[in-house]
């Protein structure tokens, strides 16, 4: 769930003078929270889950202001990179809703909409930016229900989504430069090895060219299907604006569930269970 404009806005809020803007200095507590957020990607899954729960509650307790808005914006882009748990995500969503009440034009509206729609959270907000973001997600979901696309893999073999009816298909959007993408790929390889013989097909789509993807895969030796979308037509069809993103389709070709960010092995297994694979 990575959004460039949100990240720039967050940097301006968290680091005084960034992008030519003058911002009030963070308090000692706020600096400590910011440091914890920047260290999240270096943690193991178990420690990560414990840490994000603690950070969520620390931010929630901060007084209203630009610093709180910046911290929850940055944190909201990272809290879905693993299994944070429903309670922690609800704290994040509730904090974002409170920020929107204090700052109606806050850029957290888009992230909040994704959390509510795809992580099944509950907030109450009549903010027009939030409502517009929710409507946009609804439109994108309609396009994802019955996608029709064909892409070639690194060997030049064409994969047609419609021809995979009868299979369980995991469509995953990724890139070589994306840390959470790289982190979930070994788990996807394990899924491919375990469930491939039972009908699972993984289509991992990158918008990079073969010259970047081939050396990466040669070193990693993943054997599930890697497809190239250099023109981003399929990315646009799915409305992908941040990666990783995963969409799981059942044997009838219908969308079963989706993930807005990196999934752990347990989260992937829970998704497959919804499609009848366990």
Per-residue pLDDT of 212-238, as tens digits, reads 999 999 999 899 999 999 999 999 999
On the 0-12 / 13-18 / 19+ scale of CB atoms within 10 A, 48 is buried
Encoded tokens for 125: 């907000």
- Please, which pLDDT band fits residue 17 given cuts at 50, 70 and 90? very low
Vertex 73 angle, CA 71 and 48, to 5°: 70
pTM for the structure as a whole: 0.88
Task: Give the pLDDT confidence score for residue 124 in this predicted structure.
Answer: 94
Residue 126 Cα distances to 100, 113, 131, 133, 220, angstroms: 10, 12, 7, 12, 47
């Amino acid at each position: 769930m990575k959004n460039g404009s949100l990240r720039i806005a967050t940097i301006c809020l968290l680091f005084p003078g960034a992008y030519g803007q003058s911002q009030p200095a963070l308090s000692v507590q706020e600096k400590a929270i910011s440091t914890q957020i920047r260290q999240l990607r270096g943690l193991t899954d178990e420690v990560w889950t414990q840490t994000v729960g603690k950070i969520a509650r620390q931010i929630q307790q901060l007084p209203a202001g630009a610093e709180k808005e910046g911290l929850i914006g940055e944190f909201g882009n990272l809290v879905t990179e693993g299994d944070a748990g429903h309670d922690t995500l609800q704290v994040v969503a509730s904090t974002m809703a409170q920020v929107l009440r204090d700052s109606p034009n806050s850029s957290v509206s888009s992230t909040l909409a994704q959390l509510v729609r795809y992580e099944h959270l509950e907030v109450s907000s009549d903010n027009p930016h939030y409502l517009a973001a929710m409507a946009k997600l609804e439109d994108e979901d309609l396009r994802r229900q019955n996608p029709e696309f064909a892409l070639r893999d690194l060997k030049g073999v064409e994969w047609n989504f419609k021809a995979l009816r009868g299979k369980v298909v995991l469509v995953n959007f990724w890139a070589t430069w994306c840390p959470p993408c790289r982190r979930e790929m070994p788990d996807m390889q394990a899924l491919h090895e375990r469930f491939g013989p039972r009908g699972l097909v993984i289509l991992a789509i990158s918008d990079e060219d073969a010259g970047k993807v081939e050396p990466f895969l040669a070193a990693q030796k993943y054997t599930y299907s890697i497809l190239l979308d250099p023109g981003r037509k399929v990315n646009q069809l799915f409305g992908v604006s941040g990666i990783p993103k995963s969409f799981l389709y059942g044997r009838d070709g219908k969308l079963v569930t989706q993930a807005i960010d990196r999934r752990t092995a347990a989260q992937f297994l829970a998704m497959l269970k919804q499609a009848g694979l366990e």
